[in-house]
Amino acid sequence: LNELLEHEQDLPSTTTDDYTMPLMVNTGLAVDAVALLKNRISGVGLYRTEVPFMITERFPGEKEQTRLYRDQLEGFSPLPVVMRTLDIGGDKDLPYFPIDEANPFLGWRGMRVTLDHPEVLMVQLRAMLKASQGLDNLHVLFPMITNVAEVDEALRLMDRAIVELGEEGMAVRRPRVGVMIEVPATLYQMDALAKRVDFFSVGSNDLTQYFLAVDRNNPRVSDLYDALHPALLTALDKLARDARRLNRPITLCGELAGDPAGALLLMAMGFTGLSMNAPSLPKVRAAIRRVSFSDARTLLVEVMGKDTPDEVHQHLRERMTQWQ
Ligand code: PEP
Ligand code: MG
């Protein structure tokens, strides 16, 4: 399928009525195809910094991290690169930093770990800021935010890193900062969060598991794990509306963005960008190029009237075949 769609890949992700949906990629390790990708995307919507940390034998030092981040920022410049601070715990363990818990997804994860270890976060923030010298595309994203106080604390550390670097003779500005919306509580803290940050990024993988109380990796309950559950569609629609009201960009970087039908629904809701793994780009771009924005709006209204995930999926299957 991807080969068939290859010839479309240098065309814009624009609907038949001229609405452009910015597509971005998720990265982790060094991307070889940067040059090729660059013409086809609007930026890196999620750089998972824990990925390089998973293949080293200890926490990479400031110099090493600076080099890694510089490669990403420089490689994709002038496109924006959203760098997420370390998101370990849950299913992502570092061999040299084991976390042993009965309920890791409800435990010490993401920002909870790095706020308890500010020395780890400080090195990371300093490295990101150093790496962005002379460039203007660094965006920093905080994962697993549950409380607004965590954002305040993270920003305090960011400002401290900026002051430190200033004292060392390196003048840096505060980059744009965003939070992941992946814990359901944050759905109802959008106003308070918008006072503190510049953008939102929805982690639909985790939001789905926490919203539906279904472990994202447990095959026994995988039938229940569904990002298109009607309740979740309502939640995503609310998030897009809130972000628009608060005048903040909102992107989605979970697997849902890489699903063509999901992407059309998110576009119709008003998401300002979709970030996905590079192999999903062709099919998502193709789906967008085959519909009008108003088709996508109609589709959204239709599926939001459904009562069950099965009805949502059946309806999407029918419509998507029509548009192939
Ligand atoms: C998510 O939760 O949707 C997400 C993008 O982050 P991760 O999959 O790394 O948890
Ligand atoms: Mg997540």
Nearest CA to 131 among 167, 83, 168?
83
Higher pLDDT, residue 121 or 91: 121
Ligand 1 mutation target, pool 46, 85, 182, 259, most atoms within 8 A of CB = 182
Is the ipTM reported for this complex over the cut 0.95? yes
Residue 319, token pair as written in the block: 């419509």
Separation in Å, CA 223 to CA 218, 228, 232, 254:
10, 12, 15, 18
Dist. CA 76 → ligand 1 center (Å)? 21
Q: What is the pLDDT of residue 32?
A: 60
- Output DSSP code: residue 108: S
- Cα torsion through 66, 72, 75, 78, rounded to 10: -100
Collect all residues with Cβ–Cβ distance below 8 Å to 304 and sequence separation of at least 6. Answer: 230, 233, 234, 237
Nearest CA to 82 among 90, 71, 72?
72
Nearest CA to 89 among 206, 177, 254, 223?
206
Q: What is the pLDDT of residue 37?
A: 85
Q: What is the pLDDT of residue 29?
A: 80
Question: How confident is residue 271, by pLDDT bands cut at 50, 70 and 90?
Answer: very high
Question: Is 50 a pocket residue for ligand 1 (Cβ < 6 Å)?
Answer: no
pLDDT digits (tens, 9 = 90+) for 57-108: 999 999 999 999 999 999 999 999 999 999 999 989 899 999 999 999 999 9
Work out whether the CA dihedral 128, 134, 135, 139 comes out positive or negative.
positive
pLDDT digits (tens, 9 = 90+) for 200-246: 999 999 999 999 999 999 999 999 999 999 999 999 999 999 999 99
Question: How confident is residue 324, by pLDDT bands cut at 50, 70 and 90?
Answer: confident
Whether 9 has a pLDDT exceeding 90, the answer reads no
Q: What is the pLDDT of residue 197?
A: 98
Dist. CA 180 → ligand 1 center (Å)? 9
Whether 119 has a pLDDT exceeding 90, the answer reads yes
- Output DSSP code: residue 229: -
Atom of ligand 1 nearest to the CA of 50: 9
Whether 43 has a pLDDT exceeding 90, the answer reads yes
Dist. CA 73 → ligand 1 center (Å)? 21
Residue 165, token pair as written in the block: 């670097």
Q: What is the pLDDT of residue 36?
A: 74
**Share above pLDDT 70 across residues of the chain, in percent, rounded to a whole number:** 98
Could you identify the residue written with the tokens 């039938």?
Answer: 223
Q: What is the pLDDT of residue 110?
A: 98
Collect all residues with Cβ–Cβ distance below 8 Å to 251 and sequence separation of at least 6. Answer: 24, 45, 82, 199, 200, 201, 202, 271, 272, 273, 274, 275
Q: What is the pLDDT of residue 24?
A: 97
The mean pLDDT of 308-313, rounded to a whole number, is 98
Question: How confident is residue 6, by pLDDT bands cut at 50, 70 and 90?
Answer: confident
Question: Is 48 a pocket residue for ligand 1 (Cβ < 6 Å)?
Answer: yes
pLDDT digits (tens, 9 = 90+) for 122-151: 999 999 999 999 999 999 999 999 999 999
pLDDT digits (tens, 9 = 90+) for 178-199: 999 999 999 999 999 999 999 9
Q: What is the pLDDT of residue 1?
A: 64
- Cα torsion through 105, 106, 110, 111, rounded to 10: 170
The mean pLDDT of 241-264, rounded to a whole number, is 98
